[in-house]
Structure 1
Amino acid sequence: MNFFDEMAGVWDRTSRPDAAKIASLLSLLRLSQGETVLDVGTGTGVMIPYIRERVGSYVPIVAVDSSAKMLHEASLRYAGEGVHFIQADVERDRLAGRFDAILLYSVFPHFRYPVDTIARLVTDNLRCGGRLLIAHAQGRRHLNQIHERLVSQVFSRKLLPVAEQVEQFTRVGLTVTSFDETDESYHILLQGVGVGDELSVSVAEAIYE
């Protein structure tokens, strides 16, 4: 059983979100009524009520996670609320559909191929002019310390300084519209490419040149 399956039943008791921080980060996506959202790494569905508040009651939200037990917890909590839960590994599985916004909250360090994964989500699943937000309600150093302690239980990479990570994204042709990090948060906001647009170089060329 993987780490997140093991933690699913107690996750919400051990990880309490800061509503003010989450609202501040989510405001970067500029969600409006009627917009479609893909919540990648939804876990127990922490972000779902915040998303729902902004897009309205009748717009489907697609929530994806690789952990079956995390999704089970989320589906129990938000049954009948118009959320479509999908078990998938976004690094391996292709997702159907395009969205106005894609949210990756507290999941980015667990990607083995971060630039490739984000590039594919932008090109395959984000509408032209859509927004993709990588967000953490904790600072990079604190998160890296937590993940160092969990290294034997779950895969995680060290978060790079935000400017370095942005450089990797822009090197492959992704458009970053906002980024920042403090002791309390970390975010990168990207914009969708136009229909038919291609990234400037391959991910492999960009990272390993």
Structure 2
Amino acid sequence: MLDTIIAGALNYAQTMSHWETIAVILGVAYLLLAMKQSQWCWYAAFGSTAIFSWLFFDVSLLMESALNVYYLAMAIYGWVAWHKGAHSENESLKIQSWTMNQHALAIGSVLTISLCSGYLLSENTSAIMPYLDSFTTWGAILTTWMVTRKVLENWLYWLVIDGAAIVLYIDRELYLTALLMALYLLLATIGWFIWRKQFNQQTNDDSNLATVN
């Protein structure tokens, strides 16, 4: 199995789409900038997802293609939300942490919707791996919204979603994109620690301000 993957990756490297290369570079730029809470991350996200929308449609990952159309809208929304927060006292744009009840509701909803859409895709379309495709899609929809609201735990959600997405991309011979997801696993881990440190500092600052007042 490993030999097959390696051989396929080497063969793919020779015929790799320049568009996929650009999309991957922009995808990495997005995550690095998001880790720094830079508004420029949304420009990189828009360019990367526009390319991936077409690439995934071309290899019959229909839900992944639709997901990237959603990413385009979220790139615009995220830029507006972060831009507004940077020029106001809007507390909601600070890093926030969800309660266990919020996580339970979010995860339960993603699993339920994924089962429903996976079944519909398997019965009515030629989609590849419809249940896994659905899970990564609906999970990413939720988690992308979490990023736009600066929910701390978004990084943990990405670890699960990106790990599952690697299986999809290897199956479709999108090896560079699978490699991107593997890199995302590392960067998401780093992002978690960076945001958690900033969240703790933010909480301490708010506590000290409340004490002074």
TM-score bucket (shorter structure): under 0.3
TM-score for both structures, normalised by structure 1 = 0.27
Larger radius of gyration: 2
- Structure with bigger strand share is 1
- Relative to the length of structure 2, the TM-score reads 0.26
- Structure with the higher fraction of residues in helix conformation: 2
